[in-house]
Amino acid sequence: MSTLTLKMKEEQKNDLHLLNECAVARYHKRENEGAINILLPELDVFVSSADARGGDVSSEIFLKRRDNSASNILVSEMMILAGEIAGTFGVENSLALPFRGQGEPRLLDEETWDTIPDGVCAEMAMRSCMTASSQGITPRPHHSLGLSAYVQFTSPIRRYADLLAHYQIKSYLRSGRHSSEISNEELELVLSEAGANASVGIKTQREISKYWVTEYFSRQMGSADNIYEATVVKSMRSDAFALALLEDTGFETPFKLLRENDFKLGTTVKIKVDSANPIEQQLFFSQVYEGTDDDDNDEQNDSQ
């Protein structure tokens, strides 16, 4: 139980439990209506005592695994509910809004699915089947959320498209008609520009995270800590590599196999960092040999 929950009054706790029950009910309702909830851990990166030029010996870097906890489900379901309400309002009133959608996933054939273990491997495979999302002023189905209309609405300070949605709905509620200040053509153009700027921001955030992750692993090189247990979760185009998930942090990385195409999905392997360059954002892992001297002798005898 969190410190916040302990400090709550009984009435507040009851309200929170009710909200949680509603969130779980919504979660399962969307699943029943075709939503695809991918349950994979995510990586959070925390840095302290850093400056604009990057890290030095005084900075500390922490990698933390984030799972789909009850609190995450509660917050995300309430946000999705707000987006569904905004989208439904737009549809019912023929209002141009920044609708978001996502096409149906491109599922693998049954024979391929049968070769993939349940758990993180299956979740990883499903994620790779998902199609790109789209945004426009007309309603469109969002298959991964299981909704026929959806508008991102809860972050008008952080996302400009959300601010536009607020503007459009408030204008309609105040006047009882569509806003004449922004034409549909202008709204499409603004959404396109906002989407491009948002993509730049997302790319920048990923590069920042990649820098600090690479810096973290570079500090482990040459020490006994430079050995990591990981689960093999996916094959890659090159037979020399596979994708691994470090279960303790949720970090995903390709790694070089000891022998080409010699791996089994869902198995645990040990990998190590071969090189790490934070500035170039280059991070390379390889599989660690875990055999014994007897294994070496057997291989030598087999080759003779």
Angle, helices 70-92 vs 10-32, to 10°: value is 60
Q: What is the pLDDT of residue 1?
A: 47
Q: Is the pLDDT of residue 62 over 70?
A: yes
Please list, residue by residue across 119-139, b when 16 or more beta carbons sit within 10 angstroms of its beta carbon and e when fewer do. ebbbbbbbeeebeeeebbbeb
Q: What is the pLDDT of residue 120?
A: 95
Mean pLDDT, residues 179-208 taken together: 88
Within 8 A by CB and 6+ apart from 66, the residues are 41, 42, 43, 44, 72, 250
Q: Is the pLDDT of residue 222 over 90?
A: no
Distances, alpha carbon 120 to alpha carbons 64, 117, 123, 153, 252, in Å: 18, 8, 5, 31, 11
Local structure of 93: helix, strand or coil: coil
Sort strands 251-256 and 282-287 into parallel, antiparallel or unpaired: parallel
Mean pLDDT, residues 106-111 taken together: 92
Local structure of 251: helix, strand or coil: strand
Q: What is the pLDDT of residue 182?
A: 81
Q: Where are the alpha helices (DSSP H) in the chain?
A: 3-7, 10-32, 70-92, 110-113, 120-129, 160-175, 184-220, 293-303
The residue with greater pLDDT, 3 or 30, is: 30
What band does 55 get if pLDDT is binned at 50, 70 and 90? low
Q: Tokens 């603004």 map to which residue? A: 190
Of 6-20, 120-134, 287-301, the one with minimum mean pLDDT is 287-301
Interatomic CA distance for residues 286 and 255, integer angstroms: 5
Mean pLDDT, residues 216-243 taken together: 93
Task: Locate 150 and state its tokens.
Answer: 């959806």
Nearest to residue 207, comparing CAs of 66, 45, 38, 65?
45
What band does 302 get if pLDDT is binned at 50, 70 and 90? low
Task: Locate 157 and state its tokens.
Answer: 């300070």
